[in-house]
C-alpha cells in the first residue's frame, strides 16, 4: 500500500544518508516530491546537481534530459538514476542528432557563418553537444532572454532548438518582430515560409511541448469573459498568441514566485503542468488558483516517476544494485558541458 511505500521511502532515506541525493522537478507528483532534498525548475536542478559533489547516488525525480544534465555536471564517482526509464520528454524527442546535422548543413550553406545555435535544456545530451561544438549554449525558460542577448551579440541569427514557442516568445520580448522569424521543419528539412534572407534573425525548430500547447486562446477568452479579474499566468512554452494574451508569462520559478508573493484574494488562471497548479492551489488556500484549461494538463512522462518506481529504486540501491543509471558518453558529455557552462556564465 501507499502507506507502506511511504514508510519504506523514509526508512531508505535514513539508511542511505548523505550518500543519497534526490532532486525533484516542480512538475513531479506530490507523493514523490515529498521526498525530494531539493525542488526546483530545470535551471535550479542543473545548478544543484553541479554543486553536489558528495552523494554517490542521485535519484533524479524528473525526466530523462534532466537526468542526463545531472550526469554531465556531476563527478565520475556519482551515479544518476532515473526511477522509470520511460520518463522522457516528447519535446526533447522532436530534435534528433541527424536532423540537426542536416539542418545545420543546409542553413550554414545558405546563410554562411552568421548563425549561432541555442538549445533549450529540454533536449537530449547529443543535441546539447552539437550546440556546444558549434559555439552555442543551452537556455532554460528562466534565463532565455539573457542567453539570447548573449547570442545576438555574436551572430546575426539564432537557430533555436527544439521549442519554437520559447524561442519565438523570448525573441519577441527582445524586440525581434515576428516577420523576422522563420520555422525550420526538421521532417521536410525546409524553412516553412520563406522571407527575404536579410531579414531572418530567428530560425525556430518546429518543436513544442505537448502539455503547454493544450492552453489555447479560447481558454484565455473564456476566462476573461467569465471573470475579468482573474489573472492569467502562463509558461513561455505556451504559444505566442496565448503568451501575448496572458497577463504574465514566465518560467516555472517565475510562476511560483508570482503566486507566493500575491495578496490573499488574488485569482489566478495558470497555464502550466497540472501537478504544479494543484500544489499551488493547496499551498495558497487564501487565493483562488485554477488551471487555465479546466480539463487540467498533466505531463504524462513526468508522472511516470511514481511512488512504486521511486521506492523500488531506493530498495535496489540499498541492496547494492544500481538500476536505471543514466550515463552520457564521455565525448558527448564534454561537448554538452561547453554549452551548459556558456549558459551558466551568461
Ligand atoms: P522549467 O522548469 O525551466 O520552467 O521548464 C518547464 C518544463 O517543461 C520542464 O520540463
Ligand atoms: Fe517535456 Fe513538456 Fe513534459 Fe516538460 S512538461 S517534460 S517540456 S513534455
Residue 340 lies in a domain: no
pTM: 0.96
Q: Specify whether 122 is located in the same domain as 158.
A: yes
d(CA 90, ligand 2 centre) in Å:
7
Confidence bin at 47 (pLDDT 50/70/90): confident
Q: Specify whether 82 is located in the same domain as 99.
A: no
**Which one, of 94, 256, 78, 98, lies nearest residue 160 by Cα?**
94
* pLDDT tens per residue, range 229-250: 999 999 999 999 999 999 999 9
Residue 297 lies in a domain: no
Residue 297 annotated as binding? Answer: no
Residue 336 lies in a domain: no
pLDDT of 296 > 90? The answer is: no
Q: Specify whether 127 is located in the same domain as 175.
A: yes
Hey, which of 63, 124, 142 would you mutate to test ligand 2's pocket, going by the most ligand atoms within 8 Å of its Cβ? 63
Domain count, the chain: 3
Range of the domain at 63: 2-87+302-329
Q: Specify whether 80 is located in the same domain as 10.
A: yes
Q: Specify whether 202 is located in the same domain as 287.
A: no
Using alpha carbons, list the distances in angstroms from residue 260 to 10, 156, 252, 270, 278.
Answer: 28, 39, 12, 13, 14
Where does the chain have alpha helices with state H? 2-16, 30-33, 42-51, 64-73, 97-111, 125-133, 144-152, 164-173, 217-226, 240-245, 252-261, 274-283, 307-318, 330-345
Q: 267 phi and psi, to 5 degrees?
A: -110, 135
CATH number of the domain to which 63 belongs = 3.40.50.10800
pLDDT at 1: 86
Q: Specify whether 52 is located in the same domain as 125.
A: no
Using alpha carbons, list the distances in angstroms from residue 178 to 165, 241, 329.
Answer: 12, 12, 38
Could you tell me if the CB of 91 is within 6 A of ligand 2?
Answer: yes
pLDDT at 259: 98
* pLDDT tens per residue, range 150-165: 999 999 999 999 999 9
pLDDT of 42 > 90? The answer is: no
Could you tell me if the CB of 41 is within 6 A of ligand 1?
Answer: yes
Residue with cell 506530490: 30
**316-322: average pLDDT:** 97
Distance linking the first and last C-alpha atoms of the chain: 47
CA 183 to chain centre: 20
User: Residue of the nearest CA to atom 6 in ligand 2?
Assistant: 89
Amino acid at each position: 500500500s501507499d502507506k507502506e511505500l511511504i514508510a519504506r521511502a523514509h526508512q531508505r532515506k535514513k539508511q542511505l544518508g548523505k550518500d543519497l541525493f534526490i532532486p525533484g522537478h516542480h512538475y513531479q507528483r506530490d507523493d514523490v516530491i515529498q521526498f525530494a532534498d531539493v525542488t526546483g525548475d530545470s535551471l535550479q536542478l542543473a545548478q544543484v546537481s553541479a554543486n553536489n559533489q558528495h552523494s554517490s547516488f542521485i535519484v533524479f525525480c524528473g525526466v530523462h534530459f534532466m537526468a542526463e544534465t545531472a550526469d554531465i555536471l556531476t563527478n565520475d564517482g556519482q551515479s544518476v538514476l532515473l526511477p522509470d526509464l520511460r520518463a522522457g520528454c516528447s519535446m526533447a524527442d522532436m530534435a534528433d542528432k541527424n536532423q540537426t546535422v542536416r539542418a545545420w548543413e543546409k542553413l550554414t550553406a545558405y546563410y554562411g557563418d552568421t548563425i549561432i545555435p541555442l538549445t533549450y535544456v529540454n533536449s537530449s545530451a547529443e543535441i546539447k553537444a552539437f550546440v556546444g561544438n558549434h559555439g552555442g549554449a543551452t537556455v532554460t525558460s528562466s534565463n532565455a532572454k539573457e542567453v539570447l542577448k548573449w547570442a545576438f551579440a555574436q551572430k546575426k541569427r539564432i537557430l533555436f532548438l527544439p521549442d519554437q514557442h520559447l524561442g519565438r516568445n523570448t525573441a519577441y520580448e527582445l524586440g525581434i518582430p515576428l516577420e523576422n522569424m522563420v520555422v525550420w521543419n526538421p521532417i521536410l528539412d525546409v524553412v516553412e515560409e520563406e522571407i527575404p534572407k536579410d531579414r531572418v534573425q530567428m530560425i525556430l525548430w518546429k518543436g513544442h511541448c505537448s502539455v503547454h500547447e493544450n492552453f489555447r486562446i479560447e481558454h484565455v477568452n473564456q476566462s476573461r469573459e467569465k471573470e475579468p479579474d482573474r489573472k492569467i499566468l502562463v509558461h513561455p512554452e505556451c504559444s505566442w498568441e496565448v503568451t501575448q494574451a496572458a497577463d504574465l508569462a514566465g518560467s516555472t520559478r517565475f510562476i511560483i514566485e508570482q503566486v507566493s508573493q500575491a495578496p490573499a484574494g488574488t485569482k489566478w488562471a495558470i497555464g502550466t503542468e497540472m501537478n504544479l497548479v494543484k500544489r499551488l492551489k493547496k499551498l495558497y488556500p487564501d487565493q483562488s488558483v485554477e488551471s487555465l484549461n479546466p480539463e487540467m494538463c498533466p505531463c504524462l512522462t513526468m508522472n511516470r516517476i511514481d511512488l512504486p518506481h521511486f521506492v523500488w529504486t531506493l530498495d535496489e540501491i540499498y541492496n547494492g544494485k544500481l538500476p536505471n543509471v543514466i550515463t552520457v558518453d564521455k565525448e558527448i558529455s564534454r561537448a554538452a558541458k561547453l554549452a551548459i557552462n556558456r549558459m551558466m556564465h551568461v
